[in-house]
Amino acid sequence: MSLTDLTATALLAKLASGDVTSAAITEAFLRRIELHDGQVGAFLRVDRESALAQAEAIDRKRRGGDPVGRLGGLPVAVKDVLCTRGEPTTCASRMLESFRPPYDATVISRLKAADAVLVGKTNMDEFAMGGSTENSAFRPTRNPWDLTRIPGGSSGGAAACVAASMSPLSVGSDTGGSIREPAALCGITGLKPTYGRVSRYGLVAFASSLDQIGPLAWTAEDAALLLEVLAGYDPADSTSVNLPVPRYTETLGQPLENLRIGLVREHFDQGLDGEVEAAVREAIRVFESLGAAVRWISLPHSKYAVATYYIIAPCEASSNLARYDGVHFGYRTDQRAMVAELEAQRKCLEQAGDEAGLDALDNALVRLYRKTRSEGFGPEVKRRIMLGTYALSAGYYDAYYLKALKVRRLVRDDFDRAFGEVDLIAGPVTPTPAFPLGAKIDDPLAMYLFDLYTVSTNLAGIAGISVPCGFSRGGLPIGLHLQSPPFEEERLLRAAHRFQQATDWHRRRPRLAADVA
């Protein structure tokens, strides 16, 4: 078995024993990236020289007897939505193509302090808006299990790079399913922590009340390792919660006595693919064989979750993305071309004697904003900005945004009542396995409905994890969704780990063309 086939935990054990160096591990994964990323498209940027320099510095610390951090020289890939000092942070958008932040996001600082080797920035849907990683301004990411299909989104690159064994760990963000959906479709483990568990400082915002950063890895054990590094209070983030961070890796083996699992009636209804349902039901039988008690529960307001999410998230996006105006930072339209275009328009208006048109043409700043934003943003980002701006506009705020906030409270109340009866909630992550590239890109409603089972987790601010639980007849991965009460990631990870000890879905690896050759 090659180094790139090993889990992060196994690699860390080899590092600790001196069997292998961080430089050797990093080199192995960099070669893997060179071999496969041309077809997968998981990365937007890989800095080979920097990664090897980081690895060699960590090896020197270990040889000199100095203490090394929790990650001890493990390669980690990072979604390109996290600010990294002096390095391009594009959010897969032309708007930020040349942006180099002057500071590190808190999670980047914590990764560096833990002696992670940062190998590169991963591809994503532009500004994290999408569920397929087809909305990247630079190129789509493909699913390593079937290169004709999507990897999920918006953290598609972060999931695909782990699934293709190009990094043992990666960091993504989840606003409505953007860690869990790609994890499910790529056959790996992905955890969305409770809102406030991981600092959002330095995360380029999509929807500030929904965004959360979390780990992607092959196993729950690896996810627990990475979450220990990412989690914790941060005074720089006003939404960060000041609670101690458990040593998740040390409690994974503790028994889950009298575990009560709830199955949501509304999630096993029309629209759920038969193969996905069969795999999820079989996963539940595994939990029953391990001693869990399973019962049906109801989340009656879950049927409103997608509609609620797609009002709140675009409203927050409209506000957050207003800063990209072509003045302060980021993309700015070619002003010479704009001036030439305006002169041509002016001549036409003068010839027509259109005084109102001439007056409108005179607001140069508005023209700069309009042209910059129309050129810098992609179609999906524009769609969501327009949806949000409309819902926040005078006369519509109460009818849409305010009502959505009230329904959000009802969604959270449903979960609170359910967790009075059960310890965890289980179900599907996605309605179907990965669909073909291009199949839904021109049908926004169909794309949004793919988030049916995940957005309520973000609306309620609770934790959720996707673990591999089977494959379709076509060889595509299927994920099991487990949800826990707020700040019960320890319980979530223990349940996921126990399931993975009893199954082998997480041990399967895709075979890419160069591997077969």
Closest CA to 149 of 452, 440, 511: 440
For each of the domains in the chain, give its residue range(s) and CATH number, in order of start.
3-268+420-507 (3.90.1300.10), 325-375 (no CATH)
Mark residue 243 as left, alpha or beta (left: phi above 0; alpha: psi -120 to 50; beta: remaining): beta
Closest CA to 226 of 177, 176, 167, 287: 167
Question: Would you say 128 and 206 are in contact if contact means Cβ atoms under 8 Å apart?
Answer: yes
Percentage, residues of the chain above pLDDT 70:
96
Rounded to an integer, the average pLDDT of 270-290 is 97
pLDDT tens-digit readout, 295-329: 999 999 999 999 999 999 999 999 999 999 887 77
**Rounded CA gap, 21 and 56, in Å?**
8
Predicted pLDDT of residue 426:
98
Query: Residue holding tokens 């009542």?
Result: 417
Rounded to an integer, the average pLDDT of 446-473 is 98
Question: Would you say 159 and 170 are in contact if contact means Cβ atoms under 8 Å apart?
Answer: yes
Residue 154: is the preceding peptide bond cis (ω within 30°)? yes
106: confidence class by pLDDT, cuts 50, 70, 90? very high
Give the orientation angle of helix 335-352 with respect to helix 364-376, to 10 degrees: 120
For the entire predicted model, the pTM comes to 0.94
Residues with catalytic function: 79, 154, 178
Q: What CA–CA distances, in Å, run from 387 to 165, 315, 381, 391, 401?
A: 38, 7, 10, 6, 11
Count of alpha carbons within 13 Å of 446, Cβ hemisphere only? 9
Average pLDDT, the chain: 95
pLDDT tens-digit readout, 42-89: 999 999 999 999 999 999 999 999 999 999 999 999 999 999 999 999
DSSP H or E segment with residue 480:
strand 477-484
